[in-house]
């Protein structure tokens, strides 16, 4: 099923903790580092809060866009590691940012597929309000990882991204979103417990399902592969990314990556990679991009978006 929303991504602000950890310094073998493709990660301090990171990034982005917070109709937060069980992070942000009381603010518990899901949810709400919205995605994954879990620890990094969207009647973003709860045990975290991940199950799921999904999405949207300027995959690990790319067999496609620099930042990995890419590469007048996320659920989804030349991107450290 192809879904659509009439919204435009105006800007993205990524924010990561300032404390960098090198996997090599933690005693991981260079062969293993090369296989997962992750050299450095950023880890939040115990005093850091997701809502404070999100507030800083949101204020910076709104200032750069010359947006007033009173114009924001929607604020959606996608995170699996909120600062508190309740109320939701979006509720705290309503107060911290000074959003109107009639702004729609809520959280979604979703992981690495969260970015395309969030873009659709915010875009759909903006079709009703005809205004502006903020999508906040990301986790402090280090807080749910057992330090003795040598297979999982060197993969995940902490990070948040804020995406500013506005209603555009003439803009059409297409989506395909999927869920299969039968695979929920592949990545799960019990209440107040540690993250448990079946790496082989995730690897098999990603290589079997995601290329099929992406090819079907391209077919159903009738998009010519040669028209896609960039493909932004969720940054899971190097083995998964390269496996998907091989099975896709899209020789003309460009697949930007930030794995080596930032690791797996959960639902923030796609917008963080967009920021990194467009900050370092001069944009043409318009860029057509395919965004594909996958992970916890199991769930997966894609969005076909068009970035304008005036897209604002920035990466900060706090």
Query: Residue 283 pLDDT more than 90?
Result: no
State the Cα–Cα distance between residues 255 and 290, nearest whole angstrom: 10
Separation CA 176–CA 244 (nearest Å): 18
| pLDDT mean across residues, the chain | 96
DSSP state of 89: H
Look at residue 224 in the predicted model and tell me its pLDDT: 92
pLDDT value, residue 252:
82
Q: State which residues form the domain around 120.
A: 1-318
pLDDT band, very low/low/confident/very high, at 246 (cuts 50, 70, 90): very high
pLDDT at 282: 74
| pLDDT (tens digit per residue) in 124-152 | 999 999 999 999 999 999 999 999 999 99
Q: In the chain, what is the greatest distance between 2 CA atoms, to the nearest angstrom?
A: 53
As a whole number, mean pLDDT of residues 76-100 equals: 97
Which tens digit of pLDDT belongs to each residue from 303-312?
999 999 999 9
pLDDT score, position 280: 78
State the CB neighbour count (10 A cutoff) for residue 144.
Answer: 18
In 3D space, the residue among 301, 47, 41, 278 whose CA is nearest the CA of residue 163 turns out to be 278
Count of structural domains, the chain: 1
Q: Give Cβ neighbours of residue 90 (< 8 Å, ≥ 6 apart).
A: 75, 76, 77, 105, 106, 107, 136
Domain CATH for 91 = 3.40.47.10
Alpha-helical runs (H) found in 130-163 = none
What confidence tier does 281 reach under pLDDT thresholds 50, 70, 90?
confident
Sign of CA dihedral 215, 34, 260, 49: positive
How would residue 253 be classed by pLDDT, with cut points 50, 70 and 90? confident
pLDDT at 179: 98
């Amino acid at each position: 099923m192809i879904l659509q929303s009439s919204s435009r991504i105006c800007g993205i602000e990524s924010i990561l903790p300032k404390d960098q950890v090198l996997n090599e310094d933690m005693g991981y073998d260079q062969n293993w580092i090369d296989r997962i493709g992750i050299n450095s990660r950023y880890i939040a301090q115990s005093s850091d809060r997701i809502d404070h990171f999100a507030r800083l990034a949101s204020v910076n982005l709104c200032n750069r866009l010359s947006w007033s917070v009173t114009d924001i109709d929607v604020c959606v937060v996608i995170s699996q590691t909120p600062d508190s069980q309740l109320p939701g992070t979006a509720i705290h942000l309503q107060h911290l940012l000074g959003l109107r009381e009639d702004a729609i603010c809520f959280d979604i518990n979703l992981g690495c597929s969260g970015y395309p899901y969030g873009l659709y949810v915010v875009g759909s709400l903006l079709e009703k309000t005809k205004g502006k919205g903020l999508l906040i995605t990301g986790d402090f994954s280090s807080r749910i990882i057992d330090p003795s879990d040598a297979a999982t620890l060197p993969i995940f990094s902490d990070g948040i991204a804020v995406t500013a969207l506005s209603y555009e009647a003439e803009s059409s973003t297409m989506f395909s979103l999927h869920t299969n709860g039968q695979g929920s045990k592949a990545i799960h975290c019990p209440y107040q417990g540690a993250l448990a991940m079946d790496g082989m199950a995730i690897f098999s799921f990603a290589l079997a399902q995601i290329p099929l999904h992406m090819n079907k999405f391209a077919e159903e949207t009738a998009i010519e592969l040669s028209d896609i300027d960039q493909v932004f995959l969720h940054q899971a690990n190097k083995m998964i990314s390269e496996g998907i790319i091989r099975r896709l067999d899209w020789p003309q496609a460009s697949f930007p990556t930030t794995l080596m620099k930032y690791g797996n930042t959960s639902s923030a990995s796609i917008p963080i990679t967009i920021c990194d890419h467009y900050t370092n590469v001069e944009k043409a007048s318009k860029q057509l991009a395919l965004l594909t996320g996958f992970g916890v659920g199991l769930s997966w989804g894609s969005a076909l978006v068009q970035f304008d030349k005036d897209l604002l991107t920035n990466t900060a450290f706090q």
